[in-house]
């Protein structure tokens, strides 16, 4: 079964490349409900849904544009 874009998963290192946050910051923001939650699969395997990370990035860009206006 091929992954559809809405089902694609990202590992932590990919998330950290996509957003300017450290591992500690990502987990802190998740705890504060300010960052998409991770999904645990098979013990220690942790993933994020790519479309949720992309939506988070778009939201941050939109906020920055609103603040600049």
3-state secondary structure of 46: strand
List 26's β-bridge partners, or say none: none
Beta bridge partners of 10: 48
Cβ-Cβ contacts under 8 Å for 19 (sequence gap 6 or more): 26, 53, 56, 57
Contact predicate 49/61, CB 8 Å: no
Per-residue pLDDT of the chain (69 residues; tens, 9 = 90+): 455 667 899 999 999 999 999 999 999 999 999 999 999 998 889 999 999 999 999 999 999 998 887
DSSP β-ladder status, 9-10 and 39-41: unpaired
The H or E element containing residue 56 is helix 50-68
């Amino acid at each position: 079964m091929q992954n559809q874009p809405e089902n694609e998963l990202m590992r932590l290192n990919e998330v950290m490349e996509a957003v300017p946050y450290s591992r500690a910051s990502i987990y802190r923001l998740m705890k504060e409900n300010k960052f998409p939650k991770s999904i645990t699969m098979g013990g220690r395997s942790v993933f994020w849904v790519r479309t949720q990370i992309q939506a988070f990035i778009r939201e941050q860009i939109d906020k920055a544009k609103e603040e600049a206006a």
